[in-house]
Structure 1
Amino acid sequence: MKCVKINPKKLEGSIKIPSSKSLCHRAIICAALSEGESTIENINYSKDIEATLKCMENLGAAASAFNNNETIKLKKGTVAKGEKSLDCFESGSTLRFLIPVALLCGEKVIFSGRGKLPKRPLDPYFNIFDEQNIKYSHPKDEFLPLVACGDLKAGNFELKGNISSQFISGLMFALPLLKGDSTIKITTPLESIGYVDMTLDMLNKFGINIENNNYELFKIKGNQKYKAQDCRVEGDFSQAAFWMVAGILNGDIKCLDLNHKSLQGDKAVVGFIEKMGGNIDTENFIVKTSKTKGTVIDGSQCPDIIPVLTVLAALSEGTTEIINAERLRIKESDRLKAMTTELNKIGADIIEKEAGLIIHGKESLNGGTVQSWNDHRIAMALAVAALKCKEPLIIEGSECVSKSYPHFFEDFKKLGGDVDEWCMGE
């Protein structure tokens, strides 16, 4: 296990934001399903992205990496006959995106994973399997390893809007390649619309058209073909959120490589910071130390930025309420419980509710020792909290940042952060 010790110190400078993990997943899948060769530039090569890339290679795609893995060339290959094993590591996106895609190969597929991934629900797909007589099995108390065998068939699919949008995106990747036409009906108001928008936009870039009727019904023509496309992945607002909040709390930071017109749902972090009174230049994404005040934060459309916004709220004047955030309980950790537990350890005043948090802000935190819960976003959020601690903060299990942002602590140091790292052994 690795640990980091962060001594409170102002951060200052410019930082290149890693490419969007969400868009990298989508670009790799689309390119791997395309006729011809695609080039994807500005890849943030994390464990999650490696999982998606290796799974697509196991499904027949040909891939080669250049420029320290920041550029990948991909093309559709021939799917070899026989059983397929897809290791999704700890990536929920990889697993949920690729279950429908893998069922296109007509072979037995075994999906595996680790960490909390085997416990993350897959019921929407199991309901489809039951309806279409697709054979599947998994352990009694977990969902992985999942063994599935059968052909996904075109049809009319119904999904609730408050489940993970990853299930909707997964179907969108696969259904256009089937012989018949399909529909996806959303039976309750759709959450995480931004993630669905990113999927639709990426599909469109690769020649796939899906008709969107007010996010209530998606009409998908069959017999479509993915067309090779060269693209560059833009910076990730969910990762920029850490530096934006860091700048507000104790720094002057400019975030580079962000797209003003981005469809990323996590771009909402900019609006929340403005709403709380933070000093942020929305043209150049420059943030400066500010005194912020409490507000209401709706987590339904942007769950990934809630951990770091919890840190900002814990250090803002007044009370902040986070609502509609129940899905944070089924991420890499129970993020509502994790943030409440760890921040309260170091002096915060947070009350955990079933679907959110009530946070009474303080001027500073105490410091001490906290745990990452083996969750990359918890570890990075706690690192940001260290900037307003009276004493050093030690984060145990800091290696989990490799899931999405392997060089996070290197970037922390580049901005002037005082970080010591060490290994405690197994």
Structure 2
Amino acid sequence: SNGLCTLQGFLPSEDCMHTVNAMRALGIKIEQPEPTTLIVHGKKRVLNAPKEEINCGNSGTTMRLLAGLLAGQTFESRLVGDAGLSRRPMDRVIAPLCEMGASVVAEGPDETPPLRIRGGSLRGIHYRPPVASAQVKGALLLAGLFATGKTTVEELLPTRNHMEKIFNYFLVRTAAEGDGSVTIFGDQVPESRDFAIPGDISSAAFWLVAAAAQRRGHLLVRDVGLNDTRTALLAVLLRMGAQVREAVEDVDQVEPRGIVEVTGLPLKGTVIQGKEVPRLIDELPILSVAGALASGKTIVRHAQELRVKETDRIAAIAHNLRTMGAHVAELSDGLEIHGPAPLHGARVASFGDHRIAMAFAIAGLFADGETIVQDAECIRESYPGFEGVLEEFTNPKRMQISTPVIGSLTPTPPEAT
């Protein structure tokens, strides 16, 4: 942007801090007077060449969005990640950024990181990504800021629209079309503005499912983001039989925010497929746990993107559910889960994936016996403090809990099934 921006509600997770440190390495001054507050000093799109390679940790979002940002710079940079990120495909951003005029080379096998990027004079393009990915869309829109002409991304299926909302809030001219495409007009400098970041519904999802799956369970989540491209989870829980109420309380800033209230009732199986999948891709691990606890069959289809996340999440979910006693069939693009399963405690693997670790920590609440999630430190990538909230969630004497995600939590401890 062209000046000072104060961001409230920042989550100091490992993934978010990798993004902050990457921007600092590119010459952007970022102060952090409190853990959840950032003061960003904008430089009108002008970045400095980094003195060394930029470490994105395990964050695919960081790497792909940075690739779009760096494509419009005049210097060369190198993006690296940990072992998990180094297995993830980057061809989906490499091809369009090269088409725009940048040089982006994947140094790993099969178009995987590290990425070496040399920016150039970019030209706007019309691009239809081969996969429904908000990360690809975001990378191209960021690159489009530096391009001549207009850059249009025509999506196969609607994905999260946070980038478009951020651009509009920062007074960057964009246009959304009825065919699912979004256009950004080049050579613009965002206006500096302050804003407050709402709670993350993907993090709240673990507690929402836990409440929905327990008889008489009740959970109230406050100050959570209610962007309609992120709330498909709530529709699924409603279909499965839970009582769900959401209410938008504030639409003044970037994102609508408000409350979500869930009351647990006996769940029944459902089908998750098609347009719904990109809008809850990160919630599928915990929804699969809900499927194992529900009566009947739960089917997840068109979710092949799960195979190229931090781990192969389809295989990881199937493996851990079977280990805990569930009947699961692994499909090429999803899962078929037969419930209700009398889950038993077990030693399960996180596979180095934060969402797998958290999903099976919740599964352990409903299992008979002790459940141990191995290598659970990966949870810190997206949700520091998860373990503390988990302890509070099972404590009936504590009726109010304050976290970056949950402002008010009124749980009933789950009964083992």
Counterpart of 1:289 in structure 2 is 264
Secondary structure of 1:177's aligned partner: coil
Runs of 4+ in structure 1 off by over 6 angstroms are: none
Among 164, 186, 189, the alignment partner of 1:222 is 186
Counterpart of 2:149 in structure 1 is 181
Give 2:231's aligned amino acid: K
Higher relative contact order (CA 8 A, sep 6+): 1
Counterpart of 1:149 in structure 2 is 118
In the superposition, relative to structure 1, how do residues 135 and 313 fare at CA in structure 2: closer, same or farther (>3 Å)? closer
What are the within-5 Å matches in structure 2 for residues 28-39 of structure 1? 34-39=1-6
Secondary structure of 1:265's aligned partner: coil
Superposition deviation, residue 155 in structure 1: 2.3
Secondary structure of 2:22's aligned partner: helix
Counterpart of 1:239 in structure 2 is 203
- Conserved? CA contact 2:281–2:303, under 8 Å: yes
In the superposition, relative to structure 1, how do residues 372 and 60 fare at CA in structure 2: closer, same or farther (>3 Å)? same
In the superposition, relative to structure 1, how do residues 84 and 153 fare at CA in structure 2: closer, same or farther (>3 Å)? farther
The answer to whether structure 1 residue 114 and structure 2 residue 82 are counterparts is: yes
Give 1:403's aligned amino acid: E
Give 2:368's aligned amino acid: K
Superposition deviation, residue 258 in structure 1: 1.7
In 2, the alpha carbon distance for the partners of 1:152 and 1:308 equals 43
Superposition deviation, residue 148 in structure 1: 1.9
Q: Percent identity?
A: 28
Structure 1: tracts of 5 or more residues without a match: 1-33, 419-426
Among 361, 365, 371, the alignment partner of 2:349 is 371
In 1, the alpha carbon distance for the partners of 2:49 and 2:361 equals 47
In 2, the alpha carbon distance for the partners of 1:133 and 1:173 equals 13
- Conserved? CA contact 1:249–1:387, under 8 Å: no
Superposition deviation, residue 406 in structure 1: 1.1
- Conserved? CA contact 2:19–2:56, under 8 Å: yes
Give 1:228's aligned amino acid: S
The Cα offsets for residues 346-380 of structure 1, whole Å up to 9 and x where unpaired, read as: 11111010011111012531111111111110011
In 2, the alpha carbon distance for the partners of 1:281 and 1:220 equals 35
In 2, the alpha carbon distance for the partners of 1:301 and 1:273 equals 14
- Conserved? CA contact 1:300–1:324, under 8 Å: no
Count of residues in Structure 1 that have an aligned counterpart in Structure 2: 377
The answer to whether structure 1 residue 53 and structure 2 residue 20 are counterparts is: yes
Secondary structure of 1:351's aligned partner: strand
Moved more, 114-123 or 159-168: 159-168
Counterpart of 2:325 in structure 1 is 347
- Conserved? CA contact 1:42–1:234, under 8 Å: yes
Counterpart of 1:76 in structure 2 is 42
- Conserved? CA contact 2:13–2:380, under 8 Å: yes
In the superposition, relative to structure 1, how do residues 127 and 282 fare at CA in structure 2: closer, same or farther (>3 Å)? closer
- Conserved? CA contact 2:61–2:135, under 8 Å: yes
- Conserved? CA contact 2:239–2:270, under 8 Å: yes
In 1, the alpha carbon distance for the partners of 2:60 and 2:375 equals 20
Among 397, 401, 420, the alignment partner of 2:379 is 401
- Conserved? CA contact 1:83–1:108, under 8 Å: no
TM-score, structure 1 length as denominator? 0.83
In the superposition, relative to structure 1, how do residues 82 and 276 fare at CA in structure 2: closer, same or farther (>3 Å)? closer
Give 2:144's aligned amino acid: L
Secondary structure of 1:35's aligned partner: coil
In 2, the alpha carbon distance for the partners of 1:50 and 1:133 equals 27
In 2, the alpha carbon distance for the partners of 1:205 and 1:84 equals 33
- Conserved? CA contact 2:86–2:108, under 8 Å: no
- Conserved? CA contact 2:71–2:102, under 8 Å: no
Superposition deviation, residue 388 in structure 1: 1.2
Superposition deviation, residue 99 in structure 1: 0.4
Moved more, 51-60 or 404-413: 51-60
In 2, the alpha carbon distance for the partners of 1:105 and 1:142 equals 22
Superposition deviation, residue 257 in structure 1: 1.6
Superposition deviation, residue 233 in structure 1: 0.5
In 1, the alpha carbon distance for the partners of 2:224 and 2:130 equals 28
The Cα offsets for residues 275-327 of structure 1, whole Å up to 9 and x where unpaired, read as: 11013333442323320101111223321000000000101011111111110
In 2, the alpha carbon distance for the partners of 1:243 and 1:133 equals 43
In 2, the alpha carbon distance for the partners of 1:300 and 1:81 equals 35
In 2, the alpha carbon distance for the partners of 1:390 and 1:82 equals 52
The Cα offsets for residues 366-413 of structure 1, whole Å up to 9 and x where unpaired, read as: 111111111110011101111211111111111110010011011111
Structure 2: tracts of 5 or more residues without a match: 248-258, 397-417
Counterpart of 1:211 in structure 2 is 175
- Conserved? CA contact 2:103–2:119, under 8 Å: yes
In 2, the alpha carbon distance for the partners of 1:273 and 1:405 equals 22
In 1, the alpha carbon distance for the partners of 2:305 and 2:244 equals 28
TM-score, structure 2 length as denominator? 0.85
Among 288, 299, 304, the alignment partner of 1:310 is 288
Superposition deviation, residue 82 in structure 1: 6.4
The answer to whether structure 1 residue 96 and structure 2 residue 60 are counterparts is: no
Among 230, 247, 250, the alignment partner of 1:266 is 230
RMSD between aligned alpha carbons?
2.0
In the superposition, relative to structure 1, how do residues 124 and 371 fare at CA in structure 2: closer, same or farther (>3 Å)? closer
The answer to whether structure 1 residue 138 and structure 2 residue 116 are counterparts is: no
In 1, the alpha carbon distance for the partners of 2:183 and 2:347 equals 51
Superposition deviation, residue 120 in structure 1: 1.1
Counterpart of 2:73 in structure 1 is 105
Give 1:282's aligned amino acid: E
